[in-house]
Amino acid sequence: MQETPKGLRLHIGLFGRRNVGKSSLINALVGQSIAIVSEVPGTTTDPVEKSMEMAPVGPVVFIDTAGIDDTGALGALRMEKTARCLERTDVAVIVAGPEGLGDFEQGLIDLLRDKATPFCIAFNKCDLSDSNGAAAPDAADRDRLDRDQVPHIAVSAIRGTRIDALKTMIAGLVPQGADQGGMQEPHLLGDLLRPGDLVILVVPIDLGAPKGRLILPQVMAIRDCLDSDATCLIVKERELRDAFAGLARKPRLVVCDSQVVLKAAADTPPDIPLTTFSILMARLKGDLIRLAEGAAAIHRLRPGDRVLIAESCTHHPLADDIGRVKIPRWLRQFAGGRLEVDNIAGGDFPADLSPYDLVVQCGGCMANRKQILCRLNQATDQGIPMTNYGVAISVVQGVLPRALECFPAARAAYDRALAAERP
């Protein structure tokens, strides 16, 4: 419970052909035997992850993947898992053997460039190259990599040769002042506050609330308030009106759970800004402007349309589950009839979104920003509108303009998209 959540860690993925020593290299990088090492090609089947603190980067997740040249039916499934890892990889290490670069490595280079993912190349097994440890790349590869300004290094995972230098190279690939998605680091709500401000957090306790704990976005909001030298008052939705009556000063902001946004909006004075935890997560983990634009498509849903609801974590569905019961019910009521709703969880996400009229992504507290942005970019490229839980709920409850008051650019984007939806 004291560790940085995985969704807030930099994800570092190792990719390459079978038997180039990816598993040995990740063991060397983390200083532990977390991945099975064997001379048998294809030993790694599913991705292996290890969270650690890596100086000077901070909290990271290393990901070991199956070989990109795997064969057969099972091999195809393994490569599909590897491709999924690319979607959440913030910094990539292409691992090559002493034989140098080939078509597989070039394919990875092209793919990583297409995804704007920083990467370097580690030529492993340099101890097999010659007695001086001078490994690949050969002169041709070296000239090409230098010309293209691709960072590269020769290492030996078995002997530990240049492992620290590889860590330094990886750290150098993380843009200064940038978050895990390679963009300027966003805030949850700290940039909305000044020292001494008061924030009211409306936290319902329902079947979805973990016993003895708060959900991660609520905990993150409390921490952000403390980091901003602000004060937070935590109440349940039934206590919000009384809380206002007992305050000696005006709150800077009210943040509520999306499921009680209608009541919170009714109980919050109109001169006090209001938003939801999930809308804050949409900004932290994705692109709130595009997600607000996508939410306008809810107004054109008609009976028979098909909606994809995507969760980034896995859990046992509850009796009134937010993604499987509540949001589908609200969308059907809003559309005036039955909708075809598909639910996916974890790392699953369809490559082809064309069957869907709308994608609704969860807040993404268990995903990193790169993964949410990758899904959003995929939807944008395919012309499919995408929004997130909190934005969608505020639309169907009729309070999205109120919930976006703190974010005028997102509010304007929603208004423009809504105007385009209407005749």
Domain harbouring 212, CATH code:
3.40.50.11420
Judging by DSSP bridges, how do beta strands 358-361 and 340-344 pair with one another? unpaired
User: What is the Cα–Cα distance from 93 to 154, expressed in whole angstroms?
Assistant: 12
- Which DSSP category does 4 fall into? P
Look at residue 177 and tell me if it is in a domain. no
d(CA 46, CA 79) in angstroms, rounded, equals 9
Residues 14, 163 within the same domain: yes
Specify whether 203 is located in the same domain as 78.
no
Same domain? For 215 and 241 the reply is yes
Within this chain, do residues 354 and 255 fall inside the same structural domain, yes or no? no
Say if residue 15 is in the same domain as residue 164. Answer: yes
Number of structural domains, the chain?
3
- Hey, how many other C-beta atoms are within 10 angstroms of the C-beta on 69? 18
Question: Cα separation of 50 and 10, whole Å?
Answer: 12
CATH for 348:
3.40.50.11410
Among 259, 278, 297, residue at a domain's last position: 278
Give CA–CA dist 354/345, Å, rounded.
19
Write down the pLDDT at residue 396. 97
Identify the CATH number of the domain in which residue 62 sits. Answer: 3.40.50.300
54 and 84 together in one domain: yes
Token pair of 293 as six digits: 């634009």
Residue 181, domain member (yes or no): no
Contact between 201 and 166 (Cβ < 8 Å): no
* 144 lies in the same domain as 62: yes
Output the pTM of the full model: 0.82
Give the DSSP letter string of 345-414.
Answer: -TT---S--TT-SEEEE---TTS-HHHHHHHHHHHHHTT--EEEHHHHHHHHTT-HHHHTTT-HHHHHHH
Q: Of the candidates 226, 247, 278, which is a domain's last residue?
A: 278
Per-residue pLDDT of the chain (423 residues; tens, 9 = 90+): 456 778 888 999 999 988 888 888 988 998 866 544 445 444 445 678 888 888 888 889 999 888 776 655 555 566 677 778 888 899 999 999 877 888 888 889 998 998 889 999 999 987 765 544 445 667 788 888 888 899 999 999 888 889 999 999 999 998 765 444 443 456 799 999 999 999 999 999 876 666 777 888 999 999 999 999 999 999 999 999 999 999 999 999 999 999 999 999 999 999 999 999 999 999 999 999 999 999 999 999 999 999 999 998 766 666 678 899 999 999 999 999 999 999 998 878 999 999 999 999 999 888 889 999 999 999 999 999 999 999 999 999 999 999 999 999 999 999 999 998 765
Same domain, 14 and 139: yes
In a domain, 95, yes or no: yes
Quote the domain boundaries for residue 340.
Answer: 287-421
Is 405 domain-assigned?
yes
Confidence at residue 70, expressed as pLDDT on a 0 to 100 scale: 61
The reported pLDDT for the residue numbered 209 is 65
Q: Indicate if 362 and 401 belong to the same structural domain.
A: yes
In a domain, 406, yes or no: yes
Is 338 in the same domain as 380? yes
The answer to whether residues 141 and 16 belong to one domain is yes
Continuous H helices in 121-173: 139-147, 163-172
- The per-residue pLDDT for 23 is 87
Last residue of a domain, one of 213, 247, 278: 278
Is 178 part of any domain?
A: no
Q: Is residue 129 part of a domain?
A: yes
Q: Is residue 291 part of a domain?
A: yes
Length of the chain: 423
Q: Are 260 and 349 contained in the same domain?
A: no
